[in-house]
Amino acid sequence: MKATFIVSNTDYKLCPKPTKPEYAFIGRSNVGKSSLINMITGHKGLAKTSQKPGKTNLINHFDIDDTWFLVDLPGYGYAKTSQTNREKWALMIKDYLINRGESLVCIFVLIDSRLPPQDIDLDFLEFLSENTLPFVMVFTKADKQSLPKTQSLMAAYKRKMLETWEEMPHNFISSAETKMGKEKILD
């Protein structure tokens, strides 16, 4: 797979012209987004990884095989930065998601498979639903625990979401370490 960095910016108006489909990746800070992006593209250093939450702080566009854009968005929630920066990131993300409708095909919302349902993730999923934005859920870091434990926590998400949702969004289990989920996500 050929992956080429195109541009980083803070304003959706400065993103590449919407001539190709875009697939955006987002999740709570430190959910493993950069690792997942590197795994699915097969390029170890394409997205910058860090143990410190908040490494990604711009809208990053990568051209994949000259046919589509992979968009690496900043994480939402906690990051080692000021409240002002977190608020700027939240507005930047919201503007991008709402205003790239003509080319934004799908938003991959990454969720840590080791944690029970988190309000911040549920609130973000609700925002996407309310704005009729296309998304799927990707449960990350599945290699860090047993498959039954991952499935149990996914079931907890399903129970929680079905309290207010008609159906559970499409979802995947993934691991950047073992490459679990790579082919299904790419499909």
Q: What is the pLDDT of residue 53?
A: 47
Q: What is the pLDDT of residue 163?
A: 95
Q: What is the pLDDT of residue 144?
A: 96
Q: What is the pTM of this model?
A: 0.91
How does pLDDT run across 73-99, given as a tens digit for each residue? 988 865 555 666 667 878 999 999 999
pLDDT winner (highest mean) among 31-35, 48-52, 77-81: 31-35
What is the domain range of residue 168? Answer: 3-186
Q: What is the pLDDT of residue 54?
A: 46
Give the residue-averaged pLDDT of 22-33.
93
Q: What is the pLDDT of residue 8?
A: 94
Tell me how many domains the chain contains. Answer: 1
Distance CA 134, CA 106 (A): 5
Model confidence band, residue 6 (pLDDT cutoffs 50, 70, 90): very high
Q: What is the pLDDT of residue 57?
A: 77
Which CATH number belongs to the domain containing residue 81 in this structure?
3.40.50.300
Q: Average per-residue pLDDT in the chain? A: 90
Name the percent of the chain lying above pLDDT 70: 90
How does pLDDT run across 133-174, given as a tens digit for each residue? 999 999 999 999 999 999 999 999 999 999 999 999 999 999
pLDDT score of 49 more than 50: yes
